[in-house]
Amino acid sequence: VHVLQVPVGTVEAQLARFNQNPNVLYAEPDINHIVQYVPNEGLGGSIYASDYFSEQWALNNTGQVHSTVVNDPLFGPYLDEASGLPGADINAPEAWDMTKGSSAVKIAILDSGIDCRMAGDSVSSIEFGNGKCVEQQKFVTDYQSDTLEDVVG
């Protein structure tokens, strides 16, 4: 994996150029994601003080309005506003007040954006914090099926 810096405003053109190169498997923008944290983890303050908690509609939807500047390559930048539906969420703050889980709880994260491979490590049993990236599975190529129920996305 190579991470390259390109001049501001040229990302789309550079991606197209690299993706047309037969020597490049794929090219994509390096986008930063902000990870939210559980209250009382000792990270300083509660989750409500977090800059991005209010943007997580799925966690605690109060009907909040979000404004985002979208930089459309065809039409230029514009302001996009959307509002949530109050109560259409998983009540995360209430759940976090009851428990924060334990190492005995097993969860599955099915995400095409996780690469379990790390330099010097095998593919299986990679530590991510207290968890593990147990298996890297290629669902598209390993499980060919024509039924809609088998779509992984």
| pLDDT over 70 (residue 123) | no
Question: Among 61-70, 76-85, 89-98, 137-146, which range has the highest average pLDDT?
Answer: 89-98
d(C-alpha 132, C-alpha 109), whole Å: 11
Residues 46 and 79 occupy one common structural domain: yes
Closest CA to 55 of 45, 47, 65: 65
3-state DSSP assignment of residue 95: helix
- How long is the chain? 153
What pLDDT, in 10s, does the model give residues 127-152? 454 455 655 555 555 555 555 444 44
Residues 110 and 90 occupy one common structural domain: no
d(C-alpha 52, C-alpha 50), whole Å: 6
Residues 27 and 38 occupy one common structural domain: no
* The pLDDT value given to residue 40: 47
Q: Total structural domains in the chain?
A: 3
d(C-alpha 138, C-alpha 135), whole Å: 10
Q: Which domain range does residue 142 map to?
A: 101-153
